Chains A and B, each alone.
Chain A
Amino acid sequence: GAGVSQSPSNKVTEKGKDVELRCDPISGHTALYWYRQSLGQGLEFLIYFQGNSAPDKSGLPSDRFSAERTGGSVSTLTIQRTQQEDSAVYLCASSPRTSAQSSYEQYFGPGTRLTVT
């Protein structure tokens, strides 16, 4: 099957507008992650989904950021009233499961480059 897909690949928006970013994980992967990566920086964790629930939203930088996942599959990350500091690449990753006993890799999508002007 296909890998993780994200859309759009690039988004330019004006400051103050809302944006929606979409992630379609690998089929059957129950865990889904959103990260943000600013230029020259490492990955900043935003939110994690196990199935449709988000047990950890601790990484969301402000209440302008929200995410949902429906049907245990597609997820959308919404940023309201965008600010210039929101400009970054937003990466989505999925993995088959979580387990206290095992470790496993995350499979990343190509990302969405968001530019707020």
Chain B
Amino acid sequence: EDKVVQSPLSLVVHEGDTVTLNCSYEVTNFRSLLWYKQEKKAPTFLFMLTSSGIEKKSGRLSSILDKKELFSILNITATQTGDSAVYLCAVRGHSNYQLIWGAGTKLIIKP
């Protein structure tokens, strides 16, 4: 059965710290891995990764995929209180449309 596992489930850090969120997967016919940020209700898209070893970067956020070891990490440097959210990882496998979602990592940034 396809599955996506995120760790840790929750994380509390202080403003300015750097955090690393993990997403591991076992998905048939992997196509892509996506990261989303969910602050209240609607997840918002962060990154899509399809190739190993190529870092995607947006400001203080970056992500990389390892297709050999079947995981991805999301890094946030110099964290701010506005980074507090649930970070969701999803993987597209053999289905053309269906994403398999992890349970998310709840990140809390303390001032």
Q: Which residues of chain A have a CB within 8 Å of any CB of chain B?
A: 4, 31, 33, 40-45, 48, 50, 56, 89, 91, 98-100, 103-111, 113
- Residues of A close to B34: CB separation below 8 A: 103, 105
Q: Which residues of chain B have a CB within 8 Å of any CB of chain A?
A: 4, 31-32, 34, 36, 40-45, 48, 50, 88, 90, 92, 95-99, 101-104, 106
The tally of CB-CB contacts under 8 A between chains A and B is 59
A45 in contact with B98 (CB, 8 Å): yes
* Cβ contact of A89, chosen from B4, B41, B101, B102, cutoff 8 A: B41
B103 in contact with A113 (CB, 8 Å): no
B41 in contact with A99 (CB, 8 Å): no
- CB-CB under 8 A for A98 and B97, given A42-B103, A113-B41: yes
Q: Tell me, rounded to whole Å, the shortest Cβ–Cβ distance linking A67 to chain B.
A: 15
Question: Which chain A residue has the least Cβ–Cβ distance from B10?
Answer: A40
- Residues of B close to A45: CB separation below 8 A: 98-99, 101
A31-B97 Cα distance, complex, nearest whole Å? 8
* Cβ contact of A109, chosen from B32, B42, B102, cutoff 8 A: B42
Q: A42-B88, A45-B99 are in contact. List 9 more A-B contacts (CB 8 A).
A: A42-B102, A42-B104, A43-B99, A56-B95, A91-B41, A103-B34, A103-B92, A106-B45, A110-B40
Grouping DSSP codes into helix (H, G, I), strand (E, B) and loop, the A interface class, with mixed when no group exceeds half, is loop
A94-B30 Cα distance, complex, nearest whole Å? 21
B42 in contact with A91 (CB, 8 Å): yes
A108 in contact with B103 (CB, 8 Å): no
* Cβ contact of B42, chosen from A104, A111, A113, cutoff 8 A: A111
Q: Tell me, rounded to whole Å, the shortest Cβ–Cβ distance linking B21 to chain A.
A: 14
A43 in contact with B41 (CB, 8 Å): no
- CB-CB under 8 A for A105 and B48, given A89-B41, A113-B41: yes
B44 in contact with A108 (CB, 8 Å): yes
- Some 13 contacts from A to B, beta carbons below 8 A apart, are A40-B103, A40-B106, A42-B101, A43-B43, A45-B98, A56-B98, A103-B34, A103-B48, A103-B92, A106-B45, A108-B43, A108-B44, A110-B40
Q: Tell me, rounded to whole Å, the shortest Cβ–Cβ distance linking A24 to chain B.
A: 14
Q: Tell me, rounded to whole Å, the shortest Cβ–Cβ distance linking A19 to chain B.
A: 17
